[in-house]
Amino acid sequence: MSNEIEPIRDPGLPAHQHRQADTDPIAAQRAERQVAILFGLSAVGTLLLIYSYIFVKSDKFIFIPVLGNTNTQQLGLGMGMAVALFCIGAGAIHWAKTLMPDEEVIAQRHEFRSDDEDRAEFVKTVKSGAASAGLGRRPLIKRSLGVALGLSGLTPLLLLRDLGPLPKDNLQKTSWKAGTRLVTDPGDRPIRPEDLEIGAVAQTLPQLAPGEERTLNNIGKDAVLLIRLRPEEFNLTAERLSWTHEGIIAFSKICSHMGCAVALYEQQTKHLLCPCHQSTFDVTRAAKVIFGPAARPLPQLAITIDADGYLVAQQPFTEPIGPSFWERSS
Amino acid sequence: MKRLSRLRRHRAAGPILLIFALFTIGTTFQVASAVNSDTTTVAARSATIDEGKQLFLKGCSSCHGLNAEGGQIAPSLIGVGAADVDFQVGTGRMPMADMSVQAMRKKPVYNPEQVNALATYVASLAPGPAVPTDAVLNYERDGSVAQGGELFRTNCAMCHNFAAQGGALTQGKYAPTLMGVEPKQIYEAMITGPQSMPVFSDKTITPAEKLSIIKWIKSTEAEPQLGGTALGRVGPVTEGLLVWTLGIGLLIGVAVWLAMKAR
């Protein structure tokens, strides 16, 4: 019994099978006609596109089953372009598959290394070029070129500067300060407690000092949702209860999970829902997370009223608003 | 005219004009208040309240209590106002078909006169938001589409979708689409806060701003669909689904055809 292993023999290429169009001239003619028809359809598509663009009124609608009322011009432009491009491709594929040569051809790889003669010739050319350019004789040019090339290499590194500046404490702080009035968003009108009925909500921002502008960055941090409940519905610690005013409670609108605007307030269940990942917060328990991926309750803004009876912040937010970040303390 | 302008500077002109003005105002007020205290309107109103009470006792009291004081399964209706009743009954949400998490919009059970009678009865129990009149609801004149869009995106879009198509809430509740909803009903929903929806006070969103929101919703409703189907106007979800099924399906088909050997 021999335990020698028989090498697997190269099976070689299977015998080439000719297509119908290779052997039958009638089939070849038919394939040619089909390719021509596809290219012709493409031309018709382009003509349809041109016609729709120039001659079809842009306010005309026609009824198409499934789609409904469709703008005629847009339909013509779209269908025209789709037919024009698709039929060029389809015609080319059909042409290549049925008529172009499909015999298997073997092309041997040549050696990758150039032959010695060519290599010697190349070295000679470079050397003579360098000599006639006179780089060795003219050190001033050589050095200044070196400086220029070296410095130009710094340009991509310079772009890294735009990764900064560091945010400093911008992530920790918002524009809310003790005594900042809450104003409606949009509208910028200050709000009195009696403006809100039980069950009412209001989207608010901090009032701007004269001459101050609202930036999107600030809106993204400062947005606060006011909600009015019956005071007896709250289930809060004494401190948090002192942050509310006559049943009005204020939360940062920025979700503690990913920073979406949390403002889906269900009046009956007193739940606040984030539309992005369905984090659900219980308003009566200081926005405790009762469902979803959020890790912390929404920060609560302590509110009270000022001498004119308008709602104001008692103090800034006591924690950073919004999602977690690297240096967040809690 | 010349003589009149000379008389204007007469010493007695001031007192005479004052007496004339007071007399005119007094007379007008007398006439106007006489219209208001017309005995027939009072009688008609109390007849409407009576009719409303009868309807209420038959159709609503089994859940909301004989005096609308509420019960175990339904809230008190004292102080909810005519607007609330007009919205809930006028859109067919009340009476509810079953005790599901949310009352759905359906064909109203009561005709407009009966809805009015019910609303008048409930409003007679305690004051609450009134049904907005057609004069108030002139959103074409008093609203601004641009302002309405801004307000809608801040206050409404998170639940009702950025194109007012409606969206899901928790546990099977949902914010309904606002397409095809009457302006009056949109207005009533904002001032009364039906079901899960909070109230939007007249001070934080003024009546003029509410009309702007309605005008924006109506302009969105009237927007033509150039591509025929709107795919629900919910953005990338349906659009993506279509591209992933039809578009990629077509690409796979072409790829298979490309790799197939011609006969």
Q: B224: pLDDT confidence band, cut at 50, 70 and 90?
A: confident
The radius of gyration of chain B's CA atoms, rounded to the nearest angstrom, is 28
Closest residue in B to A100 (Cα) is B262
Residues B229-249, mean pLDDT to the nearest whole number: 89
Residues B166-191, mean pLDDT to the nearest whole number: 89
Q: Report the C-alpha gap between A263 and A275 in whole angstroms.
A: 8
Helices (H) and strands (E) in chain B, counts: 13, 2
* Residue B32: predicted pLDDT: 62
More confident residue, A185 or B210: B210
Q: Which residues contact A93 (CB under 8 A, 6 or more apart)?
A: B254, B257, B258
H or E segment at A162? none
Task: Dig out the tokens for A215 from the structure.
Answer: 């930036």
Q: A301: pLDDT confidence band, cut at 50, 70 and 90?
A: very high
Distance from CA of B138 to the nearest CA of A (A): 21
Share of chain B above pLDDT 70, in %: 92
| Inter-residue contact A230 to A236 (CB < 8 Å) | no
Distance from CA of A194 to the nearest CA of B (A): 9
Helices (H) and strands (E) in chain A, counts: 8, 13
Checking if the pLDDT of B58 tops 90, the result is: no
Closest residue in B to A31 (Cα) is B262
Q: Report the C-alpha gap between A250 and A222 in whole angstroms.
A: 12
Closest residue in B to A280 (Cα) is B170
Q: Compare CB distances from B169 to A67, A192, A264 and report the shortest one's residue.
A: A264
Checking if the pLDDT of B11 tops 80, the result is: no
Q: Is the peptide bond before A231 cis (omega within 30 degrees of 0)?
A: no
Residue ranges covered by each domain of chain A:
20-98, 182-313
Q: Report the C-alpha gap between A26 and A20 in whole angstroms.
A: 9
A145-166 residue pLDDT tens: 999 999 999 988 888 888 888 8
B211-223 residue pLDDT tens: 999 999 999 988 8
Among residues A302, A288, A99, the alpha carbon closest in space to that of A182 is found at A302
Q: Output the CA–CA distances (angstroms, integers) from residue A7 to A12, A22, B185, in the order listed.
A: 15, 37, 85
Checking if the pLDDT of A311 tops 80, the result is: yes
Q: Do B154 and A203 touch (CB under 8 A)?
A: yes
Among residues A226, A231, A241, the alpha carbon closest in space to that of A286 is found at A241
Q: Range with the lowest mean pLDDT among A184-188, A295-299, B185-189, B207-211?
A: A184-188
Q: Do B204 and A71 touch (CB under 8 A)?
A: no
Checking if the pLDDT of A81 tops 90, the result is: yes
Determine the straight-line distance between the first and last CA of chain A, rounded to whole angstroms: 76
Domains observed in chain B: 42-125 (1.10.760.10), 139-222 (1.10.760.10)
Among residues B207, B139, B212, B219, the alpha carbon closest in space to that of B179 is found at B219
Q: B232: pLDDT confidence band, cut at 50, 70 and 90?
A: confident
Most A CBs within 10 A among B73, B100, B158, hence the mutation to make, goes to B158
Q: Which residues of B touch A192 (CB under 8 A)?
A: 203
Q: Do B204 and A189 touch (CB under 8 A)?
A: yes
pTM, entire model: 0.75
Q: Considering the domain delimited by A182-313, tell me its CATH architecture.
A: 3-layer Sandwich (2.102)
* Residue A223: predicted pLDDT: 92
Residue A280 phi, psi (nearest 5)? -120, 130
